[in-house]
Amino acid sequence: MPVKEKLGVVVSNKMQKTIVVKIENRYPHPIYSKTMLKTKKYLAHDELQECNIGDKVLVQECRPLSKRKRWKLVKILSKSSLIS
């Protein structure tokens, strides 16, 4: 089975070795055909603690690392211009 990968934006890096990634999913409404936007937040493992808020990242599904953390950081696609 292929490994799941998702693109998202870091919304929090306050935890040790953990980031919160917001992933947006666009889909058409089944009746009205309007494009709907659904967002979901995932906890991802960031071993080197190199992510900042606003970075665009690629995360990959992995074995459970804690109660809610089942994703790991693969790479940072673009750094945020915000300095926090």
Q: What is the pTM of this model?
A: 0.89
25: which strand partners? 38
Residue 32's pLDDT is: 97
- CB contact set of 84 (below 8 Å; sequence gap of 6+): 52, 53
Residue 83's pLDDT is: 62
28, 36 in Cβ contact below 8 A?
Answer: yes
Q: Any idea what DSSP says for residue 68?
A: S
pLDDT digits (tens, 9 = 90+) for 26-59: 999 999 999 999 999 999 999 999 999 999 999 9
Distances in whole angstroms, Cα of residue 28 to Cα of each of 8, 9, 38, 55, 69: 20, 22, 11, 27, 29
In order of their start, the domains of the chain are 5-78 (2.40.50.140)
What pairing do the DSSP bridges indicate for beta strands 69-78 and 18-28? Answer: unpaired
pLDDT digits (tens, 9 = 90+) for 17-27: 999 999 999 99
